[in-house]
């Protein structure tokens, strides 16, 4: 289940309120400002700062 364009347009990073983008494998949302990735589980983005993982460069 893919994330809709409409949902991506309204979502923001919960930490910095910046723009997030869908990663290439479409299983996470990336905030380039905070260098964090928010996992997508069963089509639901987990937008909790404590659940975010550091972005691998």
Q: What is the pLDDT of residue 1?
A: 60
Report DSSP letters for 6-54, one per residue. HHHHH---TTT----EE-TTSSEEEETTTTEEEEEETTEE---GGG-EE
At 57, the pLDDT band (50, 70, 90 cuts) reads low
Domain that includes residue 28, residue range: 5-54
Q: Is the dihedral of CA 8, 51, 37, 14 positive or negative?
A: positive
Please check the confidence at residue 56 and state whether its pLDDT lies above 90. Answer: no
Which residue matches tokens 């893919």? 2
The pTM assigned to this predicted structure is 0.88
What is the CATH classification number for the domain harbouring 50? Answer: 2.20.25.10
**Total number of domains in the chain:** 1
Q: For residue range 10-50, list pLDDT tens digits in order.
A: 999 999 999 999 999 999 999 999 999 999 999 899 999 99
């Amino acid at each position: 289940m893919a994330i809709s364009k409409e949902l991506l347009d309204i979502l923001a990073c919960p930490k910095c309120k910046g723009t997030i983008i869908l990663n290439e494998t479409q299983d996470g949302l990336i905030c380039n400002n905070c260098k964090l990735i928010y996992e997508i589980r069963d089509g639901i983005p987990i937008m909790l700062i404590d659940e975010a993982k550091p972005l691998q460069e």
